[in-house]
Amino acid sequence: MPIIIHTSDVHLGTPLGWLGPRAAEQREELRRTLSKIVDLVVEQHADALVVAGDLFHSNNPSAATVRFVLREFARLTSDSKASVVLLPGSHDPLDIESVYTSYRAEFGKLDRVSVLGLDGLRSVAVENAGLTIHGDPPQRQGRDRGATDLVPDPDSAFNVAVLHGSTGGGDDEEGGPFSLSDLPGEGWSYYALGHLPSWHEIEGAGVPAVYPGSPELVAMDGGGQGHVARVELRANGAIVTKVRVGARSIVEARVEVTDASDSFSIAERVRQETRSNPNAVLRLVLTGLTSAEAGIDDWDLVEELVGDYFFVCPPVRDYHVKVSDQDLVQLPERLVVGRFARHMRSRLEEAGSEDERREIEDALQLGVALLQGKDVIG
């Protein structure tokens, strides 16, 4: 039974500037991921590698990046019987400046490597596998539409439709997965989709319809990336297996800064909540209420943690700073917040014990923050 390895949205050549000093390393990791995918095709004796769009991050990748891809595909076709079927996507669309037309001759020299849409190509028959792979590239950059008029080949045992796009959203705006009406009708064995950054399966299509997501981390808001789909086409249906190929992951932590005296003690809390992981990008959200004197310095915090992770994103400040005594006195009496502050301050003066004082102080700060419309709970 035919086996295909399905990937999309590799985004080779993306600058990854958000990774700062780690960007070059991660760009190299993207290449390594393509090599791992090629290895997987060889190991699995797959009949085809399908790339459902956005193999390249743009139509202007460096010559070195294109040469790397050509070399990997040459390795694939010499070490295996597999065909490679590429669909241009929304980042590497098939327009007049397309990477696929600029390097037409080089791609053309490779045996069994095809670009759907180039010279009107709409389907590729995979020899000896009873398999035909069909696809139509998105028509224009920034407009992602499915090609609903693809027709399966009745003489082929298995037909796979390859589509790139989502409903709504432009190229940088994230749309939702295709709805069923965006998929071409009856007679398909599998829908190989691309454009969404993380793994997603469309329910109700009758046969599996899968977005594998990027095989490696490319975006800060990434999450469920890092996989390819291994698809075994059988007479009684396609079996899809999610195969991990990505090296990096994202770790998210929400950490309370309340009562922390400095950045170092916050770093300690982060370590208690997450495990250090040299392959993880840490996304940190700081919550709670802190005093101005605590001096939470984002840069200190990142410096403290940077050795524990592949990269630490600048922390998101979702915390609030306590109102100083001086500011409390100045809250206007005609507002509820002013009267509340005065009332609580007089209770503070009457407090009997240190514990009681602290309790009233917390209630005062929390109450003032709430009355000022700040979201300090949870």
Query: Within 10 Å of residue 201's Cβ, how many Cβ atoms?
Result: 16
Nearer to Mn ion among residue 89 and residue 135 (C-beta): 89
Fill in the DSSP letter of residue 313: P
Question: Tokens in use for 149?
Answer: 């008029």
Of 41-49, 192-200, 268-276, 281-289: span binding Mn ion (CB under 5 A): 192-200
Give the nearest distance from C-beta 54 to Mn ion in angstroms: 4
Binding flags for Mn ion, 138-177, as an x/- string (CB under 5 A): ----------------------------------------
Binding flags for Mn ion, 193-232, as an x/- string (CB under 5 A): --x-------------------------------------
Taking CA atoms, 231 is separated from 121, 147, 251, in Å, by 23, 21, 29
Nearer to Mn ion among residue 82 and residue 209 (C-beta): 209
89 binds Mn ion (CB under 5 A): yes
Nearest to 249 by CA among 269, 220, 270: 220
Give the nearest distance from C-beta 183 to Mn ion in angstroms: 17
Report which secondary-structure segment, H or E, holds 210.
strand 209-211
Give the nearest distance from C-beta 91 to Mn ion in angstroms: 6
14 binds Mn ion (CB under 5 A): no
Of 26-34, 84-92, 180-188, 200-208: span binding Mn ion (CB under 5 A): 84-92
- Contact of 263 with 305, CB cutoff 8 Å: no
Q: What are phi and psi of 377, to 5 degrees?
A: -100, 130
- Contact of 54 with 87, CB cutoff 8 Å: no
Give the nearest distance from C-beta 239 to Mn ion in angstroms: 26
Of 46-54, 77-85, 125-133, 244-252: span binding Mn ion (CB under 5 A): 46-54
Nearer to Mn ion among residue 88 and residue 208 (C-beta): 88
Of 49-57, 67-75, 249-257, 281-289: span binding Mn ion (CB under 5 A): 49-57
90 binds Mn ion (CB under 5 A): yes
The residues, ordered by sequence, that sit 6+ positions from 155 with a Cβ below 8 Å of its Cβ are none
Angstrom distance (rounded) from CA 172 to CA 178:
16
The residue at minimum Cβ distance from Mn ion is 90
* Total residue length of the chain: 378
Nearer to Mn ion among residue 50 and residue 238 (C-beta): 50
Dihedral sign of CA atoms 211, 217, 219, 220 in order: positive
| Surface-to-core class of residue 354, CB atoms within 10 Å of its CB (0-12 exposed, 13-18 middle, 19+ buried) | exposed
Residues in contact with Mn ion by CB under 5 A are 54, 89-90, 195
